[in-house]
Amino acid sequence: MRSVLMVILAFFSAAVAQQHPTPSQPTLTPQDSGTKNGLIAVSTADARVVWACGGKGTFTVTTDGGKTWKAGVVSGAEMLQFRDVHAVSDKVAYLLSVGDQATDFRIYKTVDGGASWTMQFQNQRPKAFYDCFAFWTPKRAIVHSDAVDGAFPDLHTLDGSSWHSISEKLPPALSGEGSFASSGTCVATQGKKNAWIVTGGAAVSRVLATHDGGNRWAAYSDPLPSAPGAGAFTIAFRDASNGMLGGGSLDPKHSSGNAAAAVSHDGGITWKLTSPPPVTGAIYGLSYVGDGGAPRTRVVVTANQGGAAWTPDEGATWFKLPGVSGYWGVTFAGSTGWLVGTEGRILRISF
């Protein structure tokens, strides 16, 4: 009788495993970025063209899907840190810098593959801190700053050349509210007119959303704990309705130091915490896996020294990436992505 019972249990176990198979771990391939300077942000133009950027005015680009990388330093920006990058093509890309002085916050553009760069914007406003930008098209974009005197001094471009204030169009800022330039992903764009900004630092963590290209905005709270140095750090949407955000605290002793993530299925109006990601510290970046045969609901989460993980179902279940830590940013083109991090490291990840 016992042997019959064992057979029955084995049968049902196999049936359950077939219905809910354990996903295969992605393939991880280290890259030679051409630099030892820390890399913070990464952006794909397509599966072959990827740009990354980081400290000491550094950028690096591949045009062959990661087989080779060519690194460089932007003239005049050697002492600055590039916190965001947007890839348009093998020739065209944008960079966003930060630094100690107000004028260190700049936007650069190249149209010759990084051989030369033009500074399009240089901040003159005291206390402004531009964290990240995001693009709808190669010429339409928004750049977001921490709050200054109760308002967000955000900018947009409609021609890919000149940047103009849209501060009056955003909701008033809360006391202490700002965003985090952790991987250049505090702003996400989707489609032709949708965009979302995540914030922290105030009494609550919020999502600022627009669905008309930045003319009108609404503010919604999210469930991540918020305090000075804590809140939502990164956000991504796979379509107009479904998105995920992540964050935590920069202070490991803070109660919100553990990584946290939340999902929305109504365009960012309401958010629900996922199961706890198996990483420690604030989540610096996350990215949906795109088209190309892989389910769009695969998300990779990075948490710098606290590890990295991925989820096949928007946070219901998580799988740790073994031995992976020290990465700040992540992006995908199809089923292949790139993690970038400390000491110039780039890790190709393929599902």
DSSP 53-84: EESTTEEEEESSTTS--EEEE-TT-TT-EEEE
Q: What is the pLDDT of residues 287-314, one digit of tens each?
A: 999 754 455 679 999 999 899 999 999 9
Question: Considering the domain boundaries, does residue 338 fall inside one?
Answer: yes
Q: 3-state SS string over 228-252?
A: CCEEEEEEEECCCCCEEEEEEECCC
> For position 245, which CATH number holds?
2.130.10.10
Asked if residues 31 and 67 have their Cβ atoms less than 8 Å apart, the reply is no
Backbone angles phi, psi at 44, to 5 degrees: -110, 140
On the 0-12 / 13-18 / 19+ scale of CB atoms within 10 A, 171 is: middle
pLDDT attached to residue 258: 80
Domain-embedded: residue 13: no
State the Cα–Cα distance between residues 278 and 318, nearest whole angstrom: 7
Is the pLDDT at 3 greater than 80? The verdict is: no
pLDDT band, residue 43 (cuts 50/70/90):
very high
pLDDT band at residue 18 using 50, 70 and 90 as cut-offs: very low
Per-residue pLDDT, 22 = 67
Average pLDDT over residues 31-42: 98
Cα 157 to Cα 286: distance, rounded to the nearest angstrom: 25
Instruction: Evaluate whether residue 141 is within a structural domain.
Output: yes
pLDDT digits (tens, 9 = 90+) for 313-339: 999 999 999 999 999 999 999 999 999
pLDDT at 1: 42
What is the per-residue pLDDT across 142-181, written as a single tens digit (0 to 9) for each? 999 999 999 999 999 999 999 999 999 999 999 999 999 9
Mean predicted confidence (pLDDT) in 71-96 = 98
| Joined tokens for residue 247 | 């964050």
* Model confidence pLDDT, tens digit, residues 196-239: 999 999 999 999 999 999 999 999 999 999 999 999 999 999 99
- 221 occurs within a structural domain: yes
What's the domain range around 122?
Answer: 28-350
In a domain, 315, yes or no: yes
Asked if the structure places residue 37 within a domain, the reply is yes
Q: Provide the 8-state DSSP code for 343.
A: G
Q: Looking at residue 101, what is its pLDDT?
A: 96
Residue 19: predicted pLDDT: 46
Which pLDDT score, from 0 to 100, does residue 290 have? 79
Q: Is the pLDDT of residue 6 over 70?
A: no
**How many domains is the chain partitioned into structurally?**
1
Sequence-ordered list of residues with C-beta below 8 angstroms from that of 293, at least 6 positions apart, any chain: 334, 335
- Whether 220 is covered by a domain: the verdict is yes
**Given a cut of 90, is residue 122 above it in pLDDT?**
yes
Bridge partners, 235 (sequence order): 245
- 71 domain residue, yes or no: yes
